[in-house]
């Protein structure tokens, strides 16, 4: 292929990548709008519960129906005992639960340094796995993993960040798949001089993380050809399957009351029932 043809191909590929970025950005924005809209409706008429988090048992007062909407863990807990007044999560970090609560209400993590940490992204993703909140996991993948890697200030892979992902997440998770692909794509060991201090740091880390070493060796070989795992064309490979939020709220509504009862209550002007009936009768 001549240089001119190569440049023409590169130009087309760049244009396609730009279109895909815009498409993904619009999809994420639309998803957040739906998230905020439904969450705002769910809290009307919802009881509030206390969730006690961390070793020091910090109390979070949260709308119960919002928890059951977004988390399979809480949905199961409250379906067993609707009046479960004190749920304790000593193994959960309060900073990470703060992010989860912010995401439930607003569709985003808190924009503050107070909740930041070097391992916030992977710890949030792991919390989403524990709480059975796939939408939260995907938000973390987009906002913490992919976005952080695109940021020029954090473009290169760090020993501590790679190792922390493998400490926080479970085997065969897409978080580990992303990390494995990142390692194979950027290949720090091949770019560093053998025997150098940094090369030794990477080698020692791989010895401490045999799962990562095995995953790198067993991964399907891919020619990244100037692309990276955080690029939009690979995004679907790192997403976990989500539930439809509108359908889930519908199931949650009808699990508590019949359509007949909701219709009768809505006729009296009760706003919780008015909102629920509107959702149930929405255009499919």
Grouping H, G, I as helix, E, B as strand and the rest as coil, residue 207 is helix
Tell whether the model's pLDDT for residue 136 goes beyond 90. yes
- In a domain? residue 259: yes
Res 111: pLDDT: 86
H helices within the chain, ranges in order? 3-42, 64-70, 72-80, 94-106, 120-130, 134-140, 147-150, 159-168, 174-186, 188-191, 197-208, 210-218, 245-256, 259-267, 271-280
Share the mean pLDDT of the chain. 90
- In a domain? residue 283: yes
What tokens does 29 get? 């924005």
- In a domain? residue 279: yes
Domain enclosing residue 272, as ranges: 244-284
- In a domain? residue 231: no
- Asked whether the beta carbons of 52 and 88 are under 8 A apart, the reply is yes
- In a domain? residue 168: no
Q: CA 109, CA 101: separation in Å to the nearest integer?
A: 8
Which H or E run includes 53? strand 48-53
Res 84: pLDDT: 57
DSSP secondary structure string for all residues of 236-271: GGGPPPPPPHHHHHHHHHHHHS-HHHHHHHHHTT-H
- In a domain? residue 277: yes
Tell whether the model's pLDDT for residue 81 goes beyond 70. no
- In a domain? residue 83: no
Domain count across the chain:
1
Tell whether the model's pLDDT for residue 12 goes beyond 70. no
- In a domain? residue 102: no
Range 40-54 average pLDDT: 96
């Amino acid at each position: 292929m001549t240089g001119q043809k190569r440049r023409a191909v590169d130009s087309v590929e760049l244009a396609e990548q730009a279109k895909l970025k815009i498409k993904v950005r619009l999809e994420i924005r639309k998803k957040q709008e739906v998230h905020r809209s439904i969450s705002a409706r769910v809290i009307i008429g919802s009881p509030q519960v206390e969730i006690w988090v961390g070793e020091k048992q910090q109390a979070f007062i949260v709308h119960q129906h919002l928890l059951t909407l977004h988390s399979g863990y809480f949905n199961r807990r409250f379906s067993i005992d609707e009046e479960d007044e004190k749920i304790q999560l000593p193994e959960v970090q309060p900073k990470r639960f703060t992010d989860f609560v912010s995401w439930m209400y607003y569709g985003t993590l808190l924009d503050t340094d107070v909740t930041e940490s070097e391992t916030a992204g992977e710890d949030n993703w792991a919390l989403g796995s524990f709480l059975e909140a796939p939408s939260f996991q995907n938000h973390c993948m987009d906002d913490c993993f992919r976005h952080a890697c695109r940021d020029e200030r954090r473009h290169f892979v760090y020993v501590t960040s790679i190792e922390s992902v493998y400490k926080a997440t479970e085997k065969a998770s897409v978080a580990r798949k992303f990390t494995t692909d990142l390692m194979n794509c950027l290949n720090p060991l091949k770019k560093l001089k053998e025997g150098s201090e940094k090369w030794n740091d990477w080698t020692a880390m791989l010895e401490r993380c045999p799962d990562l070493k095995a995953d790198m060796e067993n991964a399907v070989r891919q020619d990244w050809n100037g692309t990276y795992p955080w690029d939009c064309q690979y995004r679907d490979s790192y997403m976990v399957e989500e539930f439809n939020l509108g359908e889930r709220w519908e199931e949650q509504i009808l699990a508590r009351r019949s359509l007949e009862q909701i219709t009768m209550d809505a006729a009296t002007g009760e706003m919780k029932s008015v909102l629920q009936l509107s959702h149930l009768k929405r255009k499919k």
